[in-house]
Amino acid sequence: MKPSSHPNILVVKRLEIICTYELSINAFDYNCHVDLIKLLRQEGKLHRLRKARQKMSELFPLTEGPEIWLEYVQYSIGGMGAQGGIERVRSIFERALTAVGLHMTKGASIWEAYREFEILLNAQLERIHTLFRRQLAVPLMDMEGTYAEYSDWADDGVPETVTHQYRRALQQLEKCKPFEEALLVSEPPKLAEYQAYIDFEMKEGDPARVQIIFERALAENCLVPDLWIKYTMYLDRQLKIKDLVLSAHERAVRNCPWTMGLWKSYLLALERHGADHQTVTDVFEKALNAGFIQAADYVEIWQSNLDYLRRRVDFKWSRELDELRAAFARSLDYLKEDVKERFSESGDLSCIIMQIWARIEALHCKNMQKARELWDSIMTKGNAKYANMWLEYYNLERSYGDAVHCRKALHRAVQCTSDYPEHVCDVLLNFERVEGSLEDWDAAVQKTETKLNRVNEQRVAEKEAVLARQEEEKAEHRRKAKADKKAQKKSQKTDRAGDKRKAEDEYEEEWGEDEELPSKRLRGEEDFGSTAKEEHMETESGLFSRRAPPPRKTEPPGFRKNQQGLSEAPRQPQDISKEQRKDEECVFVSNLPFNLEDPEGKMRTLFQGCGTVQQVRPIFTAKGVFKGYCYVQFEDRLAVSEALKLDRQEVDGRPMFVSPCVDKNKNPDFKVFKYKTAMEKHKIFISGLPYSCTKETLEDLCKQHGTVKTIRLVTNRSGKPKGLAYVEYENEAQASQAVLKMDGTMLENFTISVAISNPPSRKMEDKAAPSRILGAAMLRQPQGARGKGRTQISLLPRSLYRQSAPDAKAENGTVSAPHATVTDGSLSNEDFAKMLLKK
C-alpha cells in the first residue's frame, strides 16, 4: 500500500461512520443514503453495499411507469417455461394493464406486447379478440392504427359493439388531446399542466382515468407532498378499495417521509380498513423516525396515535386503558427529551396532550384527582398567566368536579392571570352570584377589586414608561438629525471650496498676466422662464455673479508651481507660445463633472475627430481639484465649427457645453444662446410633462397632429429633464391643431399644457419685478430729519390706483400680473370727495 493512500482510507472510514450515525438518527435522509452507497462502493465492501442499497430501496421506492412494467413483463417471459410460468406472465400483464394500461401516450405498448405474447403462444382466437376489444375501448394515441389492424386480422369484420366503443373512445381522446399536447410542449416538472388535467378528469368522473392521470403526474413529481395528499384523499373518499388505498398511502410516505400529513392520513386509512394493531403501531414508529421539519409535527402525529389508542379502549377493562396511559406518558417524555433536544422546544406550548389526557381521566375514568394533577403540571409550565388556560380548567371542574374546586381554581386564576384579568374577574363574580354565600361574594369582590386596581396601576406605569421612551427616542432622533445635518453642511461647505467655477487664478497663469482674459461662456438655461436669472450665472468674474478676487501680490516665477508640489506637475498642460493662442481657434468647454478622471486626455479623445487638437487646458483649483471646465485649442478655425456640434453631448452623465472662446471685453454684445426668443407660430411649447418622458414618447404623441420636424426636451445643467419641451411642426396650421387637441390632455397621469412657442424676453433684468412696480409708482413720502420716511404706510387711497390692462399675449413660462398705475394729480377737491363717497 502506498503511504499516501493511508490518510485517504482513514477519511473514507470516518465519513462512513458519520453517515451511519446520521442514518441511525434519521433513516429517511435521502442524501445520506446516497453518500453511504458511494463510500461503500469506493471501499469495495460489496456485502455492505448490497445491504445499503436494499435498505434505501425499501425506504425510497422506484416510481412505477410504463417502461418499468414493460421491462418487468419481458423479464418474466424468460421464466414461462417453468410450471405455471405462462399463467404467471399473464398475471403480470394484467397487473401492468391495471397500472398503466390507460396511459394515453404510452399505454399502447403494454397492450401490443400482451397481444404479441398471446399470438406467439398460438392462443385461442377469442383471447386475442378480447384484447383487441379491451384496447379499442380505451382512449389511446394512434387508436386508428389499432382499429385498422383489428379490421385486417378479424375475418368476420369488426363487431358493431366494438365499433361503438371505439368511437366513444375517440371522442374521449379528442377531449383529452389539448391536455396531452400541453404536457408534450411543457418543461418538467409540468405540475401546473398535470393539475389542470387532473381537474378535468375529476369533473368527467371516471375513477379509472382519474387514477391513471394521478399516477402519471406522480411519476414525474413523486417528491411533491401536496400531489400525494390530493391523490390519497381522492382514494379514501371515492374508490375506498383497501389494497389500492393502502398501497397509495404506503408509497406516499416512502416518497415524502418528511410530510407529517401523509403519515397521519396513512394511520387513519389503516384504522379505517381494519388493519391489525401491530401494523398500525409499526407505521407509527416509522413516522417517529421520519425526520419531520418542525416540533409541532411530532405533537400532531402523537395526537393521531393517542386518538387511535383511545378508540380501542373499552373502559370496562384495564388492559387497553393501561396501554393508553402508558402512551400518554411516553408522548410527554418523547416531546420533553427527543423533540426538545432537536428543536429547542417541545412543540406543545399549550400542553394539548396533557389537556386531552386530563379530560379522558375526568370523563371516562372518573378520576378527577389525576385530572387535577395533570392541570397542576400544565400551569407550572408557564401557562398560569393565560386566562383561557384557567377557564379551560374551570370548565373541567364545572363539568366533572365540585363547587369548592371551581372556586379555588377561579381565585388562583384572578391572582395569576396577566393577559385578560377583567374576564377572569367577571367569571368569578358570576360564579359567586349562582353558587356562593355572602361571605364568598364579599371575598370575591375584594379580591377582584384589589387585582384590578393593581393591574390599572401597572398599565398606567407601563404607558408612562412607553411615552417616556418614545420621547427619548424622538429627542435622540432629533439630536442625530441635527448632527447629521451639521456634518452634511460642513462637508458641502468643504466641497464648495474646491468646486466653485471661478478660474481667475489658474486662468491668469494659463494665458499670462499681461494678456487680456477671454470671457467665459455666457450660457442661459434652456428653460425660458429662468433665462434672466441664468444670464448672470457665468460672467467674466466667475459663476453666480460674484466679484472678481482682489489682485494678488507679485510672486517670483515658479513660486506657485513649487508650492503645489510634484503631484500637480502631471496635470499642467504643455505651454505654447502666446502667438499660437487665438480665440477664433479655441472653444470653451464647461459643465463637466468635477470628478472627471484625466480631463485633458478625455477632451483630447473627444475632440480629435473635429480636427487637430493643439492643446487642452483643464482648469484646477489650488489644491489640484478639477473645476469642471477647460479650453481646447485647435490648429485651424474649421475645427471650431465641428467642435461646436458636440454641444450638449453627455460626458459621464452630464451634458457638456461647448461654446466659442470670445473676449467679452472686446465683444460685450456677444451672445451664445442659439434658440430664438421671438414668437414662432409653427412651434409649440409643452409644459407639465413627466420627467420620465422621452423624445420617442413625445414624438408618438405629437405626430398625430402633423409632421414633426424637431423635438427639444429642456434639461438643467446636470442633464435632468425639467418637464418642458419645444416641438417644431412644418407649418402654423399643424401647430395650431396640436395646441387645440393636446392642451389639457393626460400623459402618464400628468396633465400637460400646450401653447404656441412665445419665449419671454431675455432682458428681464431691465424689467422691475411686478411686486415692486406698485411701490415704485407710489408717491414719495416726505423725508424725515434723518433722511428716512416719516411713515412706512402709504396714505394714498386705493381708489387713486388703477390696474393697467393685461398684456395682449402671454409669454411661455410667465404669468401676466396687473400693473398698478397712479392717476395724475389733476383732480379737484370735489372730484376727490365724489371718489371717496363712491367707494
CA distances from 644 to 423, 537, 587, 638, 660 (A): 84, 21, 8, 10, 8
Please choose, from the candidates 703, 402, 671, the residue with its C-alpha nearest in 3D space to the C-alpha of residue 534.
Answer: 671
Distance CA 395, CA 384 (A): 16
Distance CA 346, CA 299 (A): 8
pLDDT band for position 57 (cuts 50, 70, 90): low
Q: What is the average pLDDT score of the chain? A: 79
Task: Select the more confidently predicted residue: 810 or 487.
Answer: 487
Residue-level pLDDT at 156? 81
Please choose, from the candidates 722, 696, 720, the residue with its C-alpha nearest in 3D space to the C-alpha of residue 708.
Answer: 696
| 221-230, 251-260, 715-724, 750-759: least confidently modelled range | 715-724
Mean pLDDT: which of 5-9, 45-49, 799-803 is highest? Answer: 45-49
Q: Which amino acid is at 362?
A: A
Q: Which amino acid is at 601?
A: G
Stretch 695-718: mean pLDDT, rounded? 84
Cell of 426: 367577571
For residue range 733-747, what is the model confidence (pLDDT) as tens digits? 888 888 888 888 888
Residue-level pLDDT at 609? 86
699 pLDDT higher than 50: yes
DSSP state of 789: B
Task: Select the more confidently predicted residue: 664 or 105.
Answer: 105
Distance CA 166, CA 147 (A): 8
| 520-524, 668-672, 675-679: least confidently modelled range | 520-524
pLDDT band for position 178 (cuts 50, 70, 90): very high
Distance CA 558, CA 542 (A): 25
For residue range 307-328, what is the model confidence (pLDDT) as tens digits? 999 999 988 777 889 999 999 9
Give pTM, 2 decimals: 0.53
Burial grade of 233 (CB within 10 A; 0-12, 13-18, 19 or more): exposed
Cβ of 660: how many Cβ atoms within 10 Å? 19
| Three-state DSSP class for residue 619 | strand
For residue range 557-589, what is the model confidence (pLDDT) as tens digits? 443 433 443 334 344 444 555 555 677 889 999
Cβ of 416: how many Cβ atoms within 10 Å? 18
Residue-level pLDDT at 832? 63
Q: How many CA atoms lie within 13 A of 787 on its CB side?
A: 0
CA distances from 97 to 66, 90, 143, 721, 793 (A): 9, 10, 16, 72, 109
Stretch 189-204: mean pLDDT, rounded? 93
pLDDT band for position 638 (cuts 50, 70, 90): confident
| 190-199, 462-471, 484-493, 806-815: least confidently modelled range | 806-815
Cα 836 to its chain centre, rounded Å, is 71
179 pLDDT higher than 80: yes
For residue range 359-415, what is the model confidence (pLDDT) as tens digits? 999 999 999 999 999 999 999 999 999 999 999 999 999 999 999 999 999 999 999
Q: Look at the block and give the residue holding cell 419531520.
A: 292
Q: Which amino acid is at 357?
A: W
| 12-26, 559-573, 779-793: least confidently modelled range | 559-573
pLDDT band for position 12 (cuts 50, 70, 90): confident
Distance CA 814, CA 331 (A): 84
| Torsion sign (Cα): 683, 684, 690, 693 | negative
Please choose, from the candidates 466, 539, 463, the residue with its C-alpha nearest in 3D space to the C-alpha of residue 501.
Answer: 539
Question: In sequence order, what are the beta bridge partners of 685?
Answer: 726, 755
Q: Which amino acid is at 782?
A: P
Distance CA 380, CA 554 (A): 92
Residue-level pLDDT at 11? 77
